[in-house]
Amino acid sequence: MYELWKMVLSLSLSGTVVIVALFLFCRLFGKRFGKGWQYYIWLVAVFRLLVPFSVDINLIGQAILELEQNRAESIEAVYAFPDNITETEGVKTTYEKETGAIYQEVRWASDNKASAGFVNILTDNLTMLWLVVAFFLLVYKVAAYHSFVRYICASSIPADVELLESFGKIVEEKKIKKTIGLYLNANISSPLLVGCFRPCIILPTREFLASDFYYVILHELTHERRMDALYKWLVQVALCLHWFNPFVWLMGREINRACELSCDEAVISRLDKEAKHAYGDTLLRAAKEGGSFHAGFGGMTMCESGRLLKRRLQAILVYQKRPGWIKAVSFVIAVTTFFGAVTLGAYARPKRTPAIVTSGGNDFLLSDKSEVIERDKVFYILCDGMTEEEVPIGGVVDGIMIVVVHRDYYSSVTLSSDKQELVEEAKDICRDMQDKNIMTEADAKRIIETARELHRQYLSEEDSEYINYYFIQSMYYRDSYLFSVGYDISKKDMENHTNKEIVLEDGEQLTLSFADAYKEWAENEEFLQILSELFSEFRQKTEKRVSRIERPLISQIEYVGDDIESLCKTYYEQDDIARFSCVFPELPKEGQKEYLEKAFQEDKIAYFAIILDDMYEKGYLDNAMVNEYVERTYENDYIAYFSICIEYLSEEGRQEWKEKVPEERRMPYGKKLQELLEDLEEDWEEEDWDW
């Protein structure tokens, strides 16, 4: 629904620009162009209001996309956090000690969540208001037109034989093949044409001069030949859809006025001077005589407005055929206006960027009709009408991630690569999260069902020894090289790559695969030694999980040099968080402190968390520095930053904040923060923290 509203709003904005441009142009230069051109040029505005067609790069669509990106809150996946697991209202942080797999999901910031929710509710209500008014306005117009036609038809009588004979001669003269009825009605004030598909001309019940009858019929047949009734209905649809836009109502008025003027021009274009005067006299007599009933928007009347009648008569008197160069200029301006309207464009959903996968996508539906999509080896369960384009891009180092995506929040679990324990592991994690009141029962059921389906699918893969051959890439920086490694590709995929055996420090052999673009690196002894050292470090950390990495794929290699300060600056400015997180640990202490403050000042929470954790790992943090940031985040109600910083305080510092937060109750979600501090205290009791 919200996407529909954005599209209509963008069409209205584009249409407004076209309407204003045409209105000013016709007022300034309209006398140089024919009335027919001034009438049909408005079709460009109608097209822009009704047809959501645009080129890939367009002004209005791009503007709305940028506004939407600025308004939206998102989840960011980052690397680096402390050696524990915490869940807060704003942040979920997970660290896997065995592999060093670390990531954080930053949910709705507490100080923005309420306002974001209010904006969403307001937007939904406005969208519903627009739709309801548009629907009832369209229904009203259709019902009013239907009632008008029924009334006119019920009170009309067929024309006499003499009029029908004259009418038939005119129809034959103008070579009109469509069947058109002719009726008389005592209640109408002017001749009119009704009906789009079964048209009929209705005349007032009075005596007509032969010339008057001829010109009246000629006028109404011109309306029918040009399909003016259909044109008017397109305008009515535009008015209903864009009822909130006053410029659209201005367009409707201008089109109604131009309709009769252009019809007169089409009639008199083939008449001599005397015939033109006779046609003008017919308009005058049509205005003076007739009944009291006036047609609404559904009928094509010959004469109804006195002010417009004056303009029509003036146009008849001054009419001159336009020279050829004017017609050529008219065509060029019309084409330019059309392409200008297309360039203005309209909002459309961002085109889907397909995920880069090793063995193809893996999408399916759950029993509750929730769609599950795979993107970069993360399985997203779409709820609340969410679409694939609206999910964040994230990943894990090892195993798989299942994320339940709602409109305002996300729930996620990370599962190991043991396909035999996949379902049981999902049950255990979901049960624990439900006990902590950080996951709903419905989301837990969705995650478990997804895990069960993945378990079934992966067991059916004959060549799949490990569940994560849909591998996740990790990026590393070593000795001037920046490279990406994907873990545990399938044996079949391994056969399609260049392979190289390396020997680890413990004497074990490991087979590496190189992507085709980097196959020559398989003979680079310097780089192979770097890889040997890297995987040897993994072996030393653990044998439970990393030892199962048997088929790594080197998918990207860059030689970036050893100018760490320059690399950090470049990646930070380019907002390349993956590369930044790889090279940043090489910075000296003072450089890291500068980036910590810079990230805080510029509200880059992902960078702030990465830097803070790396400084902790290297022993660059002290209680005074941590407490300073805790104090600043508390004073500014930055709950997401607060929940990150508080984890690095000493036991005494945490105890002080545990007493301070519930006493002041100033910070949003104060109760939640108190619970966070209590959970942290339990975690710290289980760990050996040495300050």
pLDDT of residue 11: 87
Q: How many CB atoms lie within 10 A of CB 118?
A: 10
Neighbouring residues of 198: CB distance < 8 A, sequence distance ≥ 6:
179, 181
Q: Which tokens sit at 553?
A: 């794929």
- Amino acid identity of residue 166, one-letter, is S
Give the angle subtended at the CA of 192 by the CAs of 191 and 196, to the nearest 5°. 160
For 280-308, b/e burial (b = at least 16 CB within 10 A) is bebbebbbeebeebebeebbbbbbbeeee
Give 5-60 as a DSSP string: HHHHHHHHHHHHHHHHHHHHHHHHHGGGS-HHHHHHTHHHHHHHHH-----SS-HH
| 137 to 13, 245, 269: CA distances (angstroms) | 21, 14, 38
Sign of the Cα torsion 435, 438, 440, 443 reads: negative
**Which two structure tokens, joined as six digits, stand for 505?**
């420090």
> 10 Å Cβ neighbour count for 344?
23
- The per-residue pLDDT of the chain, averaged, comes to 76
Closest listed residue to residue 105, CA positions, set 412, 373, 443: 412
pTM: 0.48
Contact 59, 343 (CB under 8 A): yes
Indicate the pLDDT class of residue 288, thresholds 50, 70 and 90: low
In tens, the pLDDT along 637-686 reads 777 788 788 778 887 777 777 777 665 555 554 555 555 655 555 554 44
What pLDDT shows up at residue 552? 86
Looking up tokens 């044998």 gives 543
Q: Is it the case that residue 543 has pLDDT exceeding 70?
A: no
Question: Which tens digit of pLDDT belongs to each residue from 315-369?
Answer: 776 676 777 777 888 889 888 988 888 888 776 655 443 333 333 346 788 888 8
- 591 compared with 292, residue with greater pLDDT: 591
Average pLDDT over residues 191-204: 84
**pLDDT for residue 276:** 80
DSSP state of 322: P
**Quick check: 291 pLDDT over 80?**
no
CA torsion, ordered 136, 140, 146, 150, to nearest 10 deg: 140
Radius of gyration of the chain (CA): 37
Amino acid at 296: G
Per-residue buried b or exposed e for 618-650, using 16+ beta carbons within 10 Å of the residue's own CB: eebbeeebbbebbeebbeeebbbbbbbbbbbbe
Domain residue spans in the chain? 2-66+124-173+210-344, 352-459, 475-686
Averaged over 392-413, what is the pLDDT?
76
Cα–Cα distances in Å, from 477 out to 596, 612, 618, 657? 20, 19, 17, 38
CA dist 31 to 27, 117, 318, 319, 577, Å? 8, 53, 10, 10, 60
- 584 closest CA partner among 475, 484, 691, 473: 475
pLDDT score recorded for residue 64: 66
Residue 509, pLDDT > 60, answer yes
Residues 631 and 645: their CA atoms lie apart, in Å, by 10
Rounded to whole angstroms, what are the CA distances from 622 to 130, 468, 604, 682? 56, 39, 22, 22
- Which of 103-112, 305-314, 615-624 comes out lowest in average pLDDT? 103-112
Given a cut of 60, whether residue 97 has pLDDT beyond it is no
Residue 113 has pLDDT above 50, yes or no: no
| Residue pair 471/488 in contact by the 8 Å Cβ criterion | yes
Half-sphere exposure of 531 (CA within 13 A, CB side): 26
Phi/psi at 141 (nearest 5 deg)?
Answer: -65, -40
pLDDT bin (cut points 50, 70, 90) of residue 102 is: very low
Most confident of 140-144, 291-295, 412-416: 140-144
Q: Give the confidence band of 536 by pLDDT, cuts at 50, 70, 90.
A: confident
Question: Any bridge partners for residue 379, and if so which?
Answer: 374, 402
Q: Per mean pLDDT, which range of 282-286, 451-455, 600-604 is the poorest?
A: 282-286
Tokens read off for 172 = 């034959």
Question: Residue 88, SS3?
Answer: coil
Question: pLDDT, tens digit, for every residue of 209-255?
Answer: 888 888 888 888 888 888 888 898 999 999 999 999 999 999 999 99
Cβ neighbour number for residue 1 with a 10 Å cutoff: 12
Residue 383 structure tokens: 């709820």
Give which of 90, 100, 97 is closest to 645, Cα–Cα: 90
Coil, strand or helix: which one is 289?
coil
pLDDT at 439: 86
Query: Which one-letter DSSP state was computed for residue 417?
Result: S
Length of the chain: 691
Closest residue by Cα to residue 344 from 561, 618, 585, 64: 64
- Note the pLDDT tens digit of each residue in 375-400: 766 888 998 888 877 776 666 656 78
DSSP state of 207: -
Q: What percent of the chain has pLDDT over 70?
A: 73
Q: Report the percent of the chain where pLDDT is more than 90.
A: 12
Q: Is 60 exceeded by the pLDDT of residue 85? A: no
Q: How far apart are CA 255 and CA 46, in angstroms?
A: 10
Higher pLDDT, 77 or 260: 260
Dig out the tokens for 349 from the structure: 């959903």
Per-residue DSSP letter, 190: S
Query: Distance between CA atoms of 59 and 236, rounded to whole angstroms?
Result: 26
At 231, which amino acid appears?
Y
Q: What is the mean pLDDT of residues 36-61?
A: 82
Q: Tell me the range of 179-193, 476-490, 591-605, 661-675 where mean pLDDT is highest.
A: 591-605
Rounded Cα distance, 159 and 150, in Å:
18
Distance CA 652, CA 648 (A): 11
DSSP code, position 461: -
β pairing state of 200-204 and 181-185 = parallel
For residue 348, the model assigns a pLDDT of 62
pLDDT, position 563 = 92
Q: Looking at residue 688, what is its pLDDT?
A: 40
Tokens of 171: 């129809």
Q: Identify the pLDDT of residue 95.
A: 39
Residues 376 and 396: their CA atoms lie apart, in Å, by 9
User: What are 537's two structure tokens?
Assistant: 């470090």
Q: What is the pLDDT of residues 247-285, one digit of tens each?
A: 999 999 999 888 888 888 888 888 887 888 888 777 777
Cβ proximity of 195 and 149 under 8 Å: yes
Backbone angles phi, psi at 260, to 5 degrees: -70, -40
Residue 176 has pLDDT above 60, yes or no: yes
Q: Give 64 or 590, the one with higher predicted confidence.
A: 590
pLDDT(459) > 90: no
Residue 62's pLDDT band (cuts 50, 70, 90) = low
For residue 89, pLDDT over 50 is answered with: no
